[in-house]
Structure 1
Amino acid sequence: MRLVFAGTPAAAIPTLRTLARQHEILAVVTRPDAPLGRKRVLTPSPVAQAAEDLGLPVIKAARLDDEATGRIAALRPELGVIVAYGGLVREPLLSTPEHGWINLHFSLLPAWRGAAPVQRALIAGDPELGVSVFQLVPALDAGDLFATRSVPLQSDANADFALDVLAHDGAGLTAEVIAGIENGTAVAVPQEGEISLAPKLTLEDGLLDWTLPVEAVYARFRGVTPEPGAHTTVAGTRLKLIEARPADAEPLSPGEIAATKQALLIGTATTPLEVRRVQPAGKAPMNATDWWRGFRAPAQEGSAQEGSAQTGSTKAGDDTIRAGA
């Protein structure tokens, strides 16, 4: 089929590559170059770079306005395919291709309509994740479904890993739907079930609440890793958690920090979270115990009290050092 593909992040690349092997991609629509890194160097989107590697023409547009619509309409596509483009497709562009547009979405719709479905599903502790391909309509992720598929994931998968798995599985599902559209066998049915929304994450979404059970704390950690990042405060200083998992250890009070030889333990409402790598504000990621030794060094001068032989120092003066404080 003659396709126009719209996408921006790396998660859209598996579908682009799969479709480029099977169909004629008339153009790839993606967001404009964006400043990245400390030096804010203008950098093409991952999809733009992949399209260049595939030798495909690229249309860079911050939004699908009249100009972008005209350029796409001139190509006379049979179908539009969108995967995490980052902008809305409105009329008349929505009806420009003969078969309209289909969208690969990284949730089991109608669950988690919106920009961050994988992250929100992980934070909520959903027992399964999946992908959906639906007919694009003006309302947010509300079109009729061509296909859905549950995707098994490891219990420790974070948002980045989960999205990569879903992106590859979703590429195959999208190709199957397009084959059905091409031969006239594809059927789309209305979405059924409870609707939930998945707005874009903010920095505040990464703040861990140590008064919750460890399962809830770990679910949020997975959902916000690597972006916007799980974080807490220790003695008023922000600390990002890079690598963590539930610990098989005796309970600590919520937010209380204890050190073993290999990791830090932070108390929750149930059992502790084990933290192995952290990133202090303004510094590079480091081993959690190395950070802890450096953090405690000033407090240990003449006033530190030793904890048990198993956990090491957990107090500075008479005050327990806690995360979230």
Structure 2
Amino acid sequence: MTLNIVFMGTPDFAVPSLAELLSNGFNVVRVYTQPPRKSGRGQKLAKSPVHQFAELMGVPVETPESFRKPSVIDDLEALNVDVACVVAYGQILPQRALDAPKEGCLNLHGSLLPRWRGAAPIQRAIMSGDEKTGVQIIQMAKGLDTGDILLSETVPIQPTDTAGTLSERMSRTGAGLWPRALAALSRGGLTPTPQEGEPTYAHKIDKAEARLNWTRPAKTLDCHIRGLAPFPGAWCEMDGERLKIHLAEPSQGDGKPGEVLNDALLIACGDGALRLKTVQPAGKPKMSAEDFLRGTPVGKGTILT
């Protein structure tokens, strides 16, 4: 059975899934993605990564502002597809849209549900110090990531993983689930498993969370920094100027929280210390701590806030 598919996705995380579907010969009749948004210093309209890739591959693209418009769902129903494959699309689909494909909508989610339902599961897993996460294909249902689990793969979180590195790895692992899931679907062999356990919610990252609180333990701050890297980036202030911290390393040290303990950017925390490894001064590219110190000497006793 050859499945006719619509794909819904927007960011870089979704591109490997679309590539996997196309390379395996699935008939992707249309891609839905978010409309072009203003981006960069020039605030020029930019197409989403999925939009750009779909055009490159010759797949028709639609960019509705909202699936709440009946006409948008009318068009989806008219396609008469077998299934929709959804990966970080960025819109909530109403029930009528979920019911439009014959087999409904399947969603690739970046956690082991019901842990970390919601918008930022990869960031929240790292920020909370989780040692593992996963990718799962679920049957989409009304409610936030509440559907039955159809296929699952566990992904370990390495001590040096950032949201960026973990997301890239998970996107590839998740992409590999689609051929298995769709092959099982075509032969009627997908077995839904209800989610079990108390859910936790991966709320969207708030800008206020990015500022570091040096009274927290070093290990906690390390997880926080890695979970916010590369975007939006954890930051503090040094001599009144913002300093983003992209990578640090827990270490030993004792002092007033935020105090620079040596000439190698070892910073005292509420418990232990953090050695800054990759930083980004305001208006400059990110750089190693060594390169930063060559241009901006930071004396012992300086306080970061």
Q: TM-score category by the smaller chain?
A: over 0.9
- Deviation for aligned residue 1:296: 5.8
Equivalent of residue 72 in structure 1, options 64, 69, 76: 76
Equivalent residues of 1:29, 1:60 under 8 A apart: yes
Q: Which residue of 2 aligns with 1:44?
A: 47
Q: Provide TM-score, normalisation by structure 1.
A: 0.88
The correspondence of residues 1-325 of structure 1 with structure 2, limited to 5 A, is 1-22=3-24, 23-64=26-67, 65-247=69-251, 249-260=252-263, 263-289=264-290, 291-292=292-293, 313-315=299-301, 321-324=302-305
Give the secondary-structure state (helix, strand or coil) at the position aligned to 2:261: strand
Equivalent residues of 2:226, 2:247 under 8 A apart: no
Q: Cα deviation per residue 1:214-240 (whole Å; 9 max; x = unaligned)?
A: 110100001001111111122433211
Alpha-carbon distance between aligned partners in 1 of 2:117 and 2:128, rounded to the nearest angstrom: 14
- Deviation for aligned residue 1:293: 6.5
Alpha-carbon distance between aligned partners in 2 of 1:148 and 1:119, rounded to the nearest angstrom: 19
| Stretch deviating more after TM superposition (236-245 or 17-26) | 236-245
Alpha-carbon distance between aligned partners in 1 of 2:15 and 2:292, rounded to the nearest angstrom: 37
User: What is the one-letter code of the residue matched to 2:285?
Assistant: A
Q: Cα deviation per residue 1:47-66 (whole Å; 9 max; x = unaligned)?
A: 00111121111111222132
Alpha-carbon distance between aligned partners in 2 of 1:170 and 1:184, rounded to the nearest angstrom: 21
Q: Provide TM-score, normalisation by structure 2.
A: 0.93
Equivalent residues of 1:259, 1:289 under 8 A apart: no
Q: How many residues align?
A: 301
Alpha-carbon distance between aligned partners in 1 of 2:131 and 2:288, rounded to the nearest angstrom: 31
- Deviation for aligned residue 1:287: 4.1
Alpha-carbon distance between aligned partners in 1 of 2:129 and 2:18, rounded to the nearest angstrom: 30
Unpaired runs of 5+ residues, structure 2, are: none
Alpha-carbon distance between aligned partners in 1 of 2:287 and 2:51, rounded to the nearest angstrom: 33
Alpha-carbon distance between aligned partners in 2 of 1:13 and 1:289, rounded to the nearest angstrom: 35
- Deviation for aligned residue 1:68: 2.1
Alpha-carbon distance between aligned partners in 2 of 1:91 and 1:160, rounded to the nearest angstrom: 32
User: What is the one-letter code of the residue matched to 1:323?
Assistant: L
User: What is the one-letter code of the residue matched to 2:256?
Assistant: S
Give the secondary-structure state (helix, strand or coil) at the position aligned to 2:101: coil
Unpaired runs of 5+ residues, structure 1, are: 298-312, 316-320
Larger radius of gyration: 1
Q: How much is the aligned-residue C-alpha RMSD, in angstroms?
A: 1.8
Equivalent residues of 1:202, 1:228 under 8 A apart: no
- Deviation for aligned residue 1:242: 2.5
Give the secondary-structure state (helix, strand or coil) at the position aligned to 1:14: helix
Equivalent residues of 2:131, 2:157 under 8 A apart: no
Alpha-carbon distance between aligned partners in 1 of 2:44 and 2:270, rounded to the nearest angstrom: 44
